[in-house]
A and B are shown apart, each in its own frame.
Chain A
Amino acid sequence: MLMTDRERLAGEIKALAEQHDNCRTALIPIVQEIKQKYRKLDDFAMQVIADQLGIHPVEVYSVVSFYAFLGSAAHGKYIIRLCRTISCDMQGKERVMRQMENDLGIRFGETTADGKFSLEWANCMGMCDQGPAMLVNERVYTRVTPERVHEILEECRRSFGVHATEQKEVYLV
């Protein structure tokens, strides 16, 4: 990372922290925001966050490593999280998984070379009656079938266009 990139990142974190009165309770929202924008949370970012909130970098790392959704590793623009808990498992998550891996050419736990998709496992998200369920970033998809996988991925790809905007609200399909 160039020095100027670092400065920009530090400035952004500083502004975010100030919005929250530099209070340590803002740790999670700040981490989420930075992760969403940069798709990773590197060592430098964690140290700036700690500095701004008056805590220690290892405390940031501790929180980030506690929550599966906050992991500090780099990831793609879309993180697809497929539920692996028993109901979804019984409703065919294996087939969805295979379709997804075939379509993207990566395994679960990996990110595509173009940095667009990451595949991850998730545990029960409360959609057991409508499994298999999965999350694409913050969107929940239920009753996912191998056939629909292609459609969902296409939908994501389309949003890469110049006019694409990130959809934030959660809705069911």
Chain B
Amino acid sequence: MSPTPVQETSSRAPKSQQSLTIARAAGGEAIGGTVTATINGQEVKVPLGTTILAAAEEIGVRIPTLCHHPDLCVAGVCRVCVVEVEGQRTLQAACAFPITSPIKVLTHTRKVRQSRRHVIDLLLSEHYGECYACGRNNNCELQALAKEYGVDFFRFGHPSKPKYEIDCSSYSVIRDNNKCVLCRRCVRTCIDLQEVGTIEVAGRSDKSYITTFKDKPLGSVVCINCGQCINRCPTGALRANDPTDDVWAAIDDPRKHVVIQTAPSPRAAIGECFGLEPGTPLTYELNTALRMCGFDRIFDTNFTADLTIIEEGTELILRLHKALVGKDAAIALPQFTSCSPGWVKYLEHFYAEYIPNLSSAKSPQQMFGAVIKTYYAEKHGIDPKDIVTVALMPCSAKKFECNRSEMDDSGFKDVDYGLTTRELAKMISEAGLELPKLSKSDFDAPFGTATGSGVIFGATGGVMEAALRTVIELVTGTKVESLFDKANIIPVRGFEGVKYVELPITDVGPVPDILKHLVPDWNWLKGATLKVAVAHGTANAKKVMEDIKAGGMFSECHFIEFMGCPGGCIGGGGQPIPTSPEIRSARARAIYAEDAAYDVRKSHENPDVLTIYQEFLTDGPCGRKSHKLLHTHYVPRGKYIE
């Protein structure tokens, strides 16, 4: 079904210069076989090339790390992980030492402990920050190291005043270099993982610091606001732009009607902030918590996720119709999804010439804002100027998105505040609520019903799966279940960087009522093969875009889902810290489990969605009214800045 997508060689660097990732060989049979390491006297057999760090982990020996991160390439810059290796004159960094011959390692000798302590003391001698006034208090790797190694005084001193100005210019990310330990995780995230390349180290030696191009404010350089750097920063040097004070103020103001929408990914992750295992969904406990915090109405973003599917799906059908039947060469295909604001800004910067390919449908967050301040306000007789809309999102780019100047189609700022999972967890704690222990309660009407399709938006491939469930049924008239067991479209799931799926359309059905005014029949699709692809993380998006530019296989696609963050929203920049491949998988499992539990699992079957088309968006999907409220336009930004 799926030929191998893009080759790995599309990396920007020549092979010899590609960042060194020490991949674990495939097992005992791999070339080179295994090697024995003796760690603290205990023998362990590992595949050749395994790092000391990974080998030690295997036998339950934990070596502390700071610059190491499971998502990133090896850096070996912090030296917190040093160990003694027999035959080596100096201590070695365990995270960067591949075992290639039998070795003897000692992980906590006096020399090792002392060196680590000195490394930590040196880091602290340059670290300006007071833990109790820091967003990462209790969730900070530097703080944890200091505790673990019993730092009880500052051997090499401690700065008494800040050295750097805090950069608050971005709607999404705040940079405070005073707390930076120069581990370069953010740099590797932004350059290697996301391939955006916003931040790097400037200067040399003790004068080096993390910065943007020519030290310009983050808000004015090429940054897609994905917040992936925040999620990988071990300290409080990077944090999201936190609007919780304003949200509290709105809640405390009796004249304001404060409405919150919650996206599926934060619900699958917020438990982690309360000590639960990753992958414990707390959707309904969260509703109770939000009511207790004082929000007036709690809605499910899934409602507009379903709406997005209808709008975006209709748009796709219209494009295909114009291109295939109307033979209009100007129609931009493949159509790209537009619900990830990080991806959207990435495209606006790096591939602005492809803006016509972006679906004009707004993201679910923004659709919700527009619907609340119009349809909902009207229906409930509330003056939209008194409504404050808050969005709980897994994402820091959503903060930027809701502040985009074009997002005011309701006549007001459609979404007032974007809250991340971490920020809401803080609000809940502040309200003294123990989230996991709360009773369950439902969402509020009139957007109470959601479908499983909306839920899976949170994982990479989810939007595609939701769209396919709807498009297949609308076009073929047959149930998805007859093609895919339990309507689970497995080929688009999973964490492979780029996925490609072909779906032949053998039979067509009657055109459903909702689309009757747009297409006369489906005969033109009979015998066609629908080609779709899914990419997550902008580095993978880049591979697909380069392929499209070169006229490769992806240029033949009809529809491509792009998500800015690795793993999709469940791995978003606003999610609980830490994040790792395992944690992302656990969150995805929670999301797919939630989907399976829904009675209605297809967007076009959501009764509330059908109602809104009957009552409000009366000229149907992609009609005039929905175009005004639910669709948007984009800004070609380019990658050059003045």
Contact = CB atoms under 8 A, between A and B. Distances in A.
Interface of A: 23-25, 43-44, 46-47, 51, 54-59, 61-62, 65-67, 72
Contacts of A66: 202-204
Interface stretch (B11-19, B150-158, B487-495, B608-616): B11-19
B17 A43 contact: no
B225 interface: no
Interface in B203-220: 203-204, 211-214
B190 to A, nearest CB: 9
Main secondary structure of the interface of A (DSSP, over half): helix
A47 B197 CA distance: 12
B301 interface: no
Contacts of B214: 43, 46, 61, 72
Given A43-B214, A51-B639, A55-B197, A25 B17 contact: yes
Interface of B: 12-14, 17, 191, 196-204, 211-214, 221-222, 639-642
B296 to A, nearest CB: 44
A47 B191 contact: no
B198 A58 contact: yes
A57 B213 CA distance: 6
A124 to B, nearest CB: 15
B202 A61 contact: yes
Nearest to B216: A43
Given A62-B200, A65-B203, A66-B203, A56 B191 contact: yes
Given A55-B12, A66-B204, A47 B641 contact: yes
27 contacts: A23-B14, A24-B14, A24-B17, A43-B214, A46-B213, A46-B214, A47-B640, A47-B641, A55-B197, A56-B191, A56-B196, A56-B197, A57-B197, A57-B213, A58-B199, A58-B200, A58-B211, A58-B213, A58-B221, A59-B200, A61-B202, A61-B211, A61-B214, A65-B202, A65-B203, A66-B203, A67-B204
Contacts of A59: 191, 197, 200
A47 B641 CA distance: 8
Nearest to B642: A43
B639 A54 contact: no
For chain B, what secondary structure do more than half of its interface residues adopt (helix, strand, loop), or is it mixed? loop
Nearest to B197: A56
Given A47-B640, A55-B197, A72-B214, 19 more contacts: A44-B640, A46-B214, A51-B639, A54-B12, A56-B198, A56-B200, A56-B213, A56-B222, A57-B197, A58-B197, A58-B199, A58-B211, A58-B213, A62-B200, A62-B201, A62-B202, A65-B202, A66-B204, A67-B204
B213 A61 contact: yes
A24 B200 CA distance: 16
B13 A24 contact: yes
A20 to B, nearest CB: 12
A127 B191 CA distance: 40
A46 B640 CA distance: 10
Contacts of B221: 58
Contacts of B191: 56, 59
Given A25-B17, A43-B214, A61 B200 contact: yes
Contacts of A56: 191, 196-198, 200, 213, 222
A24 to B, nearest CB: 6
A59 B212 CA distance: 9
A24 B222 CA distance: 20
Nearest to B199: A58
Contacts of A23: 14
Contacts of B201: 62
Contacts of A58: 197-200, 211-213, 221
B290 to A, nearest CB: 40
Contacts of B212: 58
B550 to A, nearest CB: 14
Contacts of A24: 12-14, 17
A6 to B, nearest CB: 10
A47 B216 CA distance: 14
Most chain B Cβ neighbours within 10 Å, of A23, A24, A44, A57:
A57
A60 to B, nearest CB: 8
B538 to A, nearest CB: 13
Nearest to A67: B204
- Which of A44, A59, A67 has the most B CB atoms < 10 Å from its CB? A59
A67 B204 CA distance: 8
